[in-house]
Amino acid sequence: GNHSPRGAVRAAVLPAVGEPLRLTVIELPEPGPGQVRVRLAAAGVCHSDLSLSNGTLAQPVPAVLGHEGAGTVTAVGAGVTAVSPGQRVVLNWAPSCGSCAFCGMGEPWLCAHADAANTRPYARGEDGTELFPGLTVAAFAEETVVPERAVLPLPDGIPLTDAALLGCAVLTGYGAVHHSARVRPGESVVVMGVGGVGLAVIQSARIAGAGRIIAVDISEAKEELARSAGATDFVVASGQTSRQIRKMTGGLGADVAVECAGRAETIRAAWSSTRRGGRTTVVGIGGKDQIVSFSALEIFYTARTLTGCVYGNSDPAADLPVLAGHVQAGRLDLSALVTDHIGLDGIPDAFAAMQQGRGGRALIVY
Ligand code: APR
Ligand code: ZN
Ligand code: ZN
């Protein structure tokens, strides 16, 4: 996109929770010490952006949303050593600090300061209003300014537009399968919710050598997408979902379930579709009002595991080269996640499509 030397760029701003996004021009500063300026090539629209805009997830506003992006470094601030102008990067929306207790334990996805940048204004609106960066990286804009730790150098051979998907859906989905559920060859895997994240989970389960991959969605329209990503079976969600899956798996239930819808009923159904000793990983982010219940007896008797999963329980800097290897070897098809290429003005339609269960990822191409 065009931008003046002063740093005016087009962006989609959430003025307040519950309000529609406003397409406007914002004023970006030059990167300060430890900061990097990036010109976005593309940004995916994730359900978490919708959740921030409607208040299911909270962060300071007004904010520029967007957290699944890739682009090229255009300028670096004082003291930045990790990248220089011209470097192609994927944005990391949860940059770890490297020094808190969780980082010290080798669990950077739980970093206590991963969202530190969200609470500091990073740019201004045309009228001078201070703007916050949505999930640190503010990717719904032609350019952004982020902490050095929020950029991950992109290995060669991957188009920048495809690379945007690595930043959230694919790191999250791949990590859920490989780090959290630890799917072993031949295991049966249920994938509950076939959006961008669910599609990445299906592809990752295929890469892990899963046997059956049973995709579940409330929307029948998701079957074709699920199957082309590697699902062997598709179930339309209903009150009978877990019973149906147990029947499909010889009466036992699946080895693994990965929940990618962020709802109490899908978490419960995922858990109920696993076998005794089965593992359920919850990737979806539901609201505080979503309460899941289990009886004490069934927890004992079924001996199942239920676990949360943040950003795929991954160290993004370590996983990105691994994912790039899968892409280059033809095992991971990033562009298959994308069903709509849009501009910044297409975000409202992408949100509506999500709410109606239509399509895979919508990708903003700048
Ligand atoms: N049963 C089965 N599937 C459902 C149900 C249900 N009751 N309700 C919704 N779904 C499906 C939707 O039809 C949709 O296909 O879940 C899918 C969710 O996909 P998206 O809205 O595209 O969300 P995505 O961006 O993939 O994110 C999934 O992960 O990171 C989190 O906040 C994110 O909670 C969200 C989840
Ligand atoms: Zn996301
Ligand atoms: Zn930390």
pLDDT of residue 324: 97
**DSSP letter (8 states) at residue 295:** -
The encoded tokens of residue 73 equal 């470094």
Residues 144/225, Cβ–Cβ less than 8 Å: no
Ligand 3 centroid distance, CA of 281 (Å): 23
Atom of ligand 1 nearest to the CA of 360: 22
- Cα separation, 26 vs 127, in Å, equals 9
Residue 20's contacts (CB-CB under 8 Å, 6 or more residues apart) are 348
With a 6 Å cutoff on the Cβ, whether 51 touches ligand 1 is yes
For residue 261, the ligand 1 atom closest to its alpha carbon is 16
What interface predicted TM-score (ipTM) does this complex get? 0.99
**pLDDT for 7:** 85
Q: Verify whether ligand 1 is closer than 6 Å to residue 192 (CB atom).
A: yes
- Does residue 196's CB lie within 6 angstroms of at least one atom of ligand 1? yes
**Of all atoms in ligand 1, which is nearest to the CA of residue 193?**
16
Cut 0.95: pTM above it: yes
Helical axes 264-272 vs 241-248, angle rounded to 10°:
30
For atom 17 of ligand 1, the residue with the nearest CA is: 193
Neighbours of 3 (CB within 10 A): 15
User: Whole-angstrom Cα distance, residue 348 to residue 334?
Assistant: 23
Alpha-carbon distance of 141 to 65, in angstroms, equals 8
pLDDT tens string 8-55: 999 999 999 999 999 999 999 999 999 999 999 999 999 999 999 999
Q: Is the CB of 266 under 6 A from ligand 1?
A: yes
pLDDT < 70: residue spans in the chain: 1-6
Phi, psi of 275 (to 5 degrees): -75, 175
Neighbouring C-beta atoms of residue 339, cutoff 10 Å? 15
Ligand 1 near 45 CB (within 6 A) = no
Q: Could you tell me how far CA 89 lies from the centroid of its own chain?
A: 16
SS3 content of the chain, % helix, strand, coil (to 5): 35, 25, 40
- The Cα 265–Cα 347 span in angstroms is 27
pLDDT computed for residue 106 by the predictor: 96
Residue 354 Cβ inside 6 Å of ligand 1? The answer reads yes
79-97 tens-digit pLDDT: 999 999 999 999 999 999 9
Q: Considering all CA atoms of the chain, what is the largest pairwise distance in Å, rounded to the nearest integer?
A: 65
pLDDT of residue 2: 42
Chain Cα centroid distance, residue 46: 6
Atom from ligand 1 closest to the CA of residue 222? 15
What span, in angstroms and rounded, lies between the C-alpha atoms of 227 and 203? 10
In terms of phi and psi (left: phi > 0; alpha: psi -120 to 50; beta: otherwise), the region of 4 is: beta
195 C-alpha to ligand 1 centroid (Å): 5
